[in-house]
Amino acid sequence: MDTPSIRSVLADGEVGARVTIEGWLRSARHSKGLSFLDVTDGSSMAGLQVVAPGELDNYDPEVRGLGTGAAVRVRGELVESPGKGQRVELRAQELEVVGDAADDYPLQKKRHSFEYLRTIAHLRPRTNTLAAVFRVRNVAARAIHRFFQERGFVWLHTPILTGADAEGAGELFEIEGGEAFFGRPTRLTVSGQLEAEIGALALRNVYAFGPTFRAENSNTSRHLAEFWMVEPEMAFCDLRGDTELAEAFLREVLTAILEECGEDMAFFDERIEKGVVASLEHIVKTPFEHMTYTEAVQRLEQSGEDFEHLVSWGADLQSEHERWLTETLVQKPLVVTDYPSAIKAFYMYANDDGRTVRAMDVLVPRIGEIVGGSQREHRHDVLAEKMKAQGLDLEEYGWYLELRRFGSVPHAGFGLGFERLVQFATGMANIRDVIPFPRVPGYAEF
Amino acid sequence: MDTPSIRSVLADGEVGARVTIEGWLRSARHSKGLSFLDVTDGSSMAGLQVVAPGELDNYDPEVRGLGTGAAVRVRGELVESPGKGQRVELRAQELEVVGDAADDYPLQKKRHSFEYLRTIAHLRPRTNTLAAVFRVRNVAARAIHRFFQERGFVWLHTPILTGADAEGAGELFEIEGGEAFFGRPTRLTVSGQLEAEIGALALRNVYAFGPTFRAENSNTSRHLAEFWMVEPEMAFCDLRGDTELAEAFLREVLTAILEECGEDMAFFDERIEKGVVASLEHIVKTPFEHMTYTEAVQRLEQSGEDFEHLVSWGADLQSEHERWLTETLVQKPLVVTDYPSAIKAFYMYANDDGRTVRAMDVLVPRIGEIVGGSQREHRHDVLAEKMKAQGLDLEEYGWYLELRRFGSVPHAGFGLGFERLVQFATGMANIRDVIPFPRVPGYAEF
C-alpha cells in the first residue's frame, strides 16, 4: 500500500529519484554479474525494468536464481533507460525476494492458449492479456457508474433471489428448498427490470448493475450462466428518450475506455483484434442511424443477400441480418425500433398500429445487437389485456399491474450485457475470457 | 429526461424563470379556486410547491380532483415562496395529469409503520423515509467506488455461483441440479474474499462489491439472506496497512454521506434516530483507538460491568462487550487486533505467539462491529498445516494453496456489510428497511 504503483513510476518517476517498488517477475534474464528483471504489479501493461547488479549482497545465488513469477521488493534509483519504449528503469540497490515461485509455475514467458488459461483461473489474471481485460473491465464499470451518477440516477440494488414469475425469460436456476425458506419457489434473477420500474416510479431515474443468470445449457463463446447486466429505467420517458440515453451511454463508456486504457487498447489492437481501436473510435464519433423494424425488413428483402435465415416481417432478426444492416447497409451503429409485438415481451408499449411495440435494439458492427430496450406499457388496461392474452397470472403480477393504477407514467429503459460490452471493446473472442470467474456448463470452480 | 429534476429547481431555479417539471403529488390541498400541490420526483426530500389557479382550463374537475400519488406535468413560472423553508414555488400555467392515482392508493399523507410498508415494497420507495434511505444508499455506494478507484483498486467481479467449499461460513443456498449443470454441487457465495485474493496476487489492489448470501433462518432486525458486501484485498500489505485502509475508508464514506446527503440526514436525525448526524461527525473527526484482543479482554474483566455473557480470553467478544469497549471505555471507534486463532478463520496469518492471528475488527458506537478483516496466511506450509488441523480438504483448496507457491506475498483485506453501514448511517432500526427488496425467511416476493 505504501509503495508507488509501477504504473505511476513509469508515468511520473523522475530520473535520479530513489524509489521502492513491489511486484512480480514477468521475466528474468541473468547474464554474468547482472540481472534484468521485468517487474509488474498488474497496474499497467508495461512492466518496470529492474537492473540488479552483481554487487547486491544477495545476488548469488538468490537474485541470480530468480525466475518468472517470483515476488520482489526493490529499492533503487531511477535511471534513464537505454531500452526502446521505456523512459526509465530501476537500478537496484536492495532487492528482497518476498516470495519465490516454484519451478512448476505454469506461466512461463510464452503464449498460452486461452483454453489452457481457463483451467488455471487462479493464475490467469497474471497474464498480460487477462490483466489488460480486467483493467478495461474496471474502467468500463467505472464509466458506467459515472455516466448514471452524473445524470442523477440512483443505483438500485435489485434482488438476486426472486420469487417472481419468470415472464418466460428462459431457463432458471432454482434454489434448493427455496419454498421452505422463502415461502415460494425461489430462483436467480434473469433481469432487474421489473424491480427497476418500481424504483423509477418513485425516484424517477434509476439503474440496476448487478449479476443475472441463465440456466441455458449453451456451450458457446457468447453465453455465460452468470453475467452482469446494466439496466437503467426512467420515468416520464418515452422510446425516443430511451434511445437518446442508450446512444449517449455507449458513446461515453467507449470514450472512457479509449481515453483511459490507451496502453491496453493498443495491445488488443495489435494482438487480439486488428482494428478494434478504429472501430470504437468510429462508433464514438458517428451519429447513430435510425430505422424501424419494418423498414429494416424491407431493406433486407431488397438486399439481394443470400441469408441463411429467411427474412420476413414478423420474424425476429438473426445475427446475420443485424450485422448486414449495421456493417454493410448503414456502416455505423443502427437503432432499430418498433418491432412486431408477437416477438417481444408483454411489458412493451403497444403502438397504435396494433401490431408493433415501442422496442429498440442498438446494433453495432462486429457483434450486432448490444443494447435492447423499450418503452414500457404504462396503461393499466392495455397491459392487463396483453398479460391475459399471453396466459400470465395476473395475481402473480398484481404488484406490477398496481404500479399502473397509482400515478402511472410513460417510462422506458434498456438492458446491456456487461460482458458483451467488454468483449466488444477488447475484441476478445470468447466471453469466458472477459469475466474473472466464468460460470458455464460443467464449470464453477472456486 | 428532458425536464429538470425538482432537486435542481429547488436549488438553482431563478425567480421569474419558466420551467416544466414532472413528478407525483405527495399531498394536495384544494381551497376555493386554488390548489396547492406538493410535488416530488424522488430527487430530494423537499418537494416543490405548485400553486394551481382556478383559471387553468382543466381546473374543474381535473386539477381540483387530484389526490396523493397522481402524476403531473406542470409548466409555469417560478415565484418567490411566502412559505417557510422554501425559496421558490411554481405558479402553474399548464397542468397535465399524466397518471391519476386510484382512490385506494395506500400511501396517504400519514405515518405508516415500517412493517406495513414492507408489505407494499413496490410502493414504499415513494415514502419520504424509504426514498431518503435509497438516496443515502446510492451516495454511500458511489463513495465506496470512488474511494477505491481513486486509489487504483480494480473492481473485481467475484462469482455468485460457486463450487468452492464453504470454509464453514454457515448455512448456504444450494442450486437445484447444480451438480448436473456445473459438474459439482453449486452454492451461492458467502464471500468474495478467496477469489479477491486471486485478484490481489495479480493486480495488487482489488475490491469486490456485490451480493452475498446466508441461508440462516434468522428472523431478526440485523440479518438478511441476501446482502451486499464490500471486500478490498491488497497484496504487499500487512495488518497495519489493512487497518489504515479501513479507517480511511469509513471516514471517507461517512464524510460523503454527511456532505452529499445533508437534507436526508437532517430528516433521519429528526425523525429516526436523534443524534445520528453528531455520531457520524464524531467518527469522521476522531482518530481511531487501537487495542489487542488480549488487552480488550483485560479491560472488560476489570470493568466491573455485569455482562450477560462471560468474558474470558479465548471466547469471542459479544455485542455487549464490543459496545462497552467503543461506547464506554474509549468513546470512539476502536480497532481490536490479534484475536485467538481458535475463534477465527483458517486463512488468517498466525502470529509468532502461537495462539493469536492477525485479525482486526473495527467497532463503532451504536452498533459494535462494522468491519472485520485480517492479514492472510501467505506461508504455504503454515497454511497447509492449519487447514489439515481444521479438517479441510487440501485438494479442494488446491488452487488456494497454490497461490502460496508462486510469488506469495503478505496480503490483507477486510469485509464490510453494506446494509449494516447504511443502517448505521441512517439510524434505521431494521435492516429490511435499508435494502430495496429484502430477502428474509418467508419473504422473497418480486
* In B293-349, beta strands by DSSP E: 334-340
Phi, psi of B81 (to 5 degrees): -95, 130
Q: What is the mean pLDDT of chain A?
A: 95
Query: Which of B419, B414, B303, B286 lies closest to B362, judged by CA?
Result: B414
Please state, as a whole number, how many other Cβ atoms lie within 10 Å of the Cβ of residue A58.
14
> How far does the CA of residue B233 sit from the closest CA of chain A (Å)?
11
Phi-psi group of B271: left, alpha or beta (phi > 0 → left; psi -120 to 50 → alpha; rest → beta):
alpha
Please state, as a whole number, how many other Cβ atoms lie within 10 Å of the Cβ of residue A219.
10
The partner residue sitting opposite A175, judged by closest CB among B137, B173, B241, is: B173
Rounded to whole angstroms, the Cα distance separating B39 from B222 reads: 34
CB contact under 8 A, B7 and A205: no
Whether A81 shows a pLDDT value over 90: the answer reads yes
pLDDT at B249: 98
Q: What are the grid coordinates assigned to A91, written together?
A: 537500478
pLDDT at A165: 66
CB contact under 8 A, A159 and B444: yes
Rounded to whole angstroms, the Cα distance separating A294 from A316 reads: 11
Question: Is ipTM over 0.95?
Answer: yes
CA angle A312, A313, A318 (to 5 degrees): 60
pLDDT at B108: 83
Query: Which of B98, B42, B103 lies closest to B68, judged by CA?
Result: B103
Rounded to whole angstroms, the Cα distance separating B198 from B233 reads: 9
pLDDT at B166: 59
> Right CATH number for B124-433 from 3.30.930.10, 2.40.50.100, 1.10.10.10, 2.70.98.60?
3.30.930.10
CB A117 within 8 A of CB A127: yes
Rounded to whole angstroms, the Cα distance separating A59 from A32 reads: 11
pLDDT digits (tens, 9 = 90+) for A404-436: 999 999 999 999 999 999 999 999 999 999 999
Query: Which of B46, B26, B39 lies closest to B110, judged by CA?
Result: B26
Smallest CA–CA distance from B8 into chain A, residue: A152
For range A54-69, the mean pLDDT:
96
CB contact under 8 A, B225 and A181: yes
CB contact under 8 A, B445 and A22: no
CB B223 within 8 A of CB B431: yes
Whether A213 shows a pLDDT value over 70: the answer reads yes
Smallest CA–CA distance from A145 into chain B, residue: B142
Write out chain A residues lying below 8 Å of B182, CB-based.
225, 439, 441-444
Q: Amino acid letter at A294?
A: T
CB contact under 8 A, B444 and A213: no
Q: Tell me the HSE value of A50 on the side-chain side, using a 13 A CA sphere.
A: 35
DSSP B175: B
pLDDT at B85: 82
Write out chain A residues lying below 8 Å of B188, CB-based.
160, 175
By DSSP bridging, strand A205-213 and strand A154-155 are parallel
pLDDT at A432: 97
Distance (Å) of CA A55 to CA A33, A52, A62, A145: 8, 8, 12, 50
The partner residue sitting opposite A406, judged by closest CB among B105, B241, B245, is: B105
Rounded to whole angstroms, the Cα distance separating B19 from B156 reads: 43
CB contact under 8 A, B436 and A195: yes
Rounded to whole angstroms, the Cα distance separating A50 from B88 reads: 64
The partner residue sitting opposite B210, judged by closest CB among A69, A186, A211, is: A211
Distance (Å) of CA B227 to CA B143, B421, B439: 18, 11, 8
pLDDT digits (tens, 9 = 90+) for A3-51: 999 999 999 999 999 999 999 999 999 998 999 999 999 999 999 999 9
Q: What are the grid coordinates assigned to B9, written together?
A: 429547481
Rounded to whole angstroms, the Cα distance separating A333 from A331 reads: 7
Instruction: Judge if A6-99 and A124-433 fold alike in CATH terms.
Output: no
pLDDT at A313: 98
Strand partners, B201: none
CB contact under 8 A, A142 and B149: yes
> How far does the CA of residue B321 sit from the closest CA of chain A (Å)?
32
Whether A110 shows a pLDDT value over 90: the answer reads no
CA angle A232, A234, A237 (to 5 degrees): 135
Interface test with B, best of A48, A142, A437 (most B CBs within 10 A): A437
Query: Which of B120, B84, B118, B90 lies closest to B104, judged by CA?
Result: B120
Whether A166 shows a pLDDT value over 70: the answer reads no
The partner residue sitting opposite A444, judged by closest CB among B161, B406, B441, is: B161
CA angle B45, B51, B53 (to 5 degrees): 160
Q: What are the grid coordinates assigned to A446, written together?
A: 472456486
The owner of cell 442523477 is A152
Interface test with A, best of B74, B151, B154 (most A CBs within 10 A): B154
Write out chain B residues lying below 8 Å of A182, CB-based.
225, 439, 441-444
Q: Taking the mean position of all CA atoms in its chain, how far away is CA B266?
A: 18
Q: What are the grid coordinates assigned to B161, written together?
A: 455461483
DSSP B148: H
Write out chain A residues lying below 8 Å of B129, CB-based.
none
Rounded to whole angstroms, the Cα distance separating B236 from A40 reads: 13
Residues 6+ apart with CB under 8 A from A146: A256
Distance (Å) of CA A79 to CA A24, A58, A76, B91: 20, 22, 9, 69
pLDDT at B360: 98
Interface test with B, best of A406, A419, A432, A435 (most B CBs within 10 A): A406
* In B302-430, beta strands by DSSP E: 334-340, 356-364, 368-375, 411-417
The owner of cell 537474485 is A63
CB A28 within 8 A of CB A68: yes
CB contact under 8 A, A236 and B199: no
The length of chain B in residues reads 446
CATH number, span A6-99? 2.40.50.140
pLDDT at B1: 58
Cα torsion B44, B45, B46, B48 to 10°: value is 50
> How far does the CA of residue B136 sit from the closest CA of chain A (Å)?
10
pLDDT at A164: 79
Q: Classify residue A265 as exposed, middle or buried by CB count within 10 Å of its CB (0-12, 13-18, 19+).
A: buried
CB contact under 8 A, B199 and A125: yes
Whether A444 shows a pLDDT value over 90: the answer reads no
Lowest-pLDDT range of A139-143, A303-307, A440-444, B74-78: A440-444
Residues 6+ apart with CB under 8 A from A282: A332, A365
pLDDT at B445: 77
Residues 6+ apart with CB under 8 A from A379: A404, A408
Please state, as a whole number, how many other Cβ atoms lie within 10 Å of the Cβ of residue B287.
9
Smallest CA–CA distance from B204 into chain A, residue: A41
- Place A171 in a pLDDT band, splitting at 50, 70 and 90: confident
Q: Amino acid letter at A257?
A: I
Smallest CA–CA distance from B103 into chain A, residue: A406
Q: Taking the mean position of all CA atoms in its chain, how far away is CA B318?
A: 22
Distance (Å) of CA B228 to CA A139, A270, A423, B366, B428: 21, 39, 26, 21, 17
Is 0.90 surpassed by the pTM of this model? yes
pLDDT at B344: 95
The owner of cell 469486490 is B208
Please state, as a whole number, how many other Cβ atoms lie within 10 Å of the Cβ of residue B389.
10
The partner residue sitting opposite A444, judged by closest CB among B125, B184, B437, is: B184
Helix (H, G, I), strand (E, B) or coil at B267: helix
> How far does the CA of residue B135 sit from the closest CA of chain A (Å)?
7
pLDDT at B171: 87
Helix (H) or strand (E) holding B196: helix B193-203
Q: Amino acid letter at A369?
A: E
The owner of cell 471486500 is B231
Q: Classify residue B380 as exposed, middle or buried by CB count within 10 Å of its CB (0-12, 13-18, 19+).
A: middle
Residues 6+ apart with CB under 8 A from A386: A346, A350, A377
The partner residue sitting opposite A446, judged by closest CB among B24, B235, B399, is: B399
Q: Taking the mean position of all CA atoms in its chain, how far away is CA A152?
A: 22
Q: Work out how many CB contacts closer than 8 A connect A with B.
A: 322
Taking the domains of chain B in order of start, what are their residue ranges? 6-99, 124-433
CB B47 within 8 A of CB B263: no
The length of chain A in residues reads 446
Per-residue pLDDT 10s for chain B (446 aa) are 579 999 999 999 999 999 999 999 999 999 989 999 999 999 999 999 999 999 999 999 999 999 999 999 999 999 999 988 889 999 999 999 999 999 999 998 778 999 999 999 999 999 999 999 999 999 999 999 999 999 999 999 999 999 876 556 578 999 999 999 999 999 999 999 999 999 999 999 999 999 999 998 888 999 999 999 999 999 999 999 999 999 999 999 999 999 999 999 999 999 999 999 999 999 999 999 999 999 999 999 999 999 999 999 999 999 999 999 999 999 999 999 999 999 999 999 999 999 999 999 999 999 899 999 999 999 999 999 999 998 988 988 999 999 999 999 999 999 999 999 999 999 999 999 999 999 999 888 77
Q: What are the grid coordinates assigned to B106, written together?
A: 395506500
The partner residue sitting opposite A234, judged by closest CB among B1, B121, B134, is: B1
Lowest-pLDDT range of A153-167, A300-314, A409-423, B271-285: A153-167
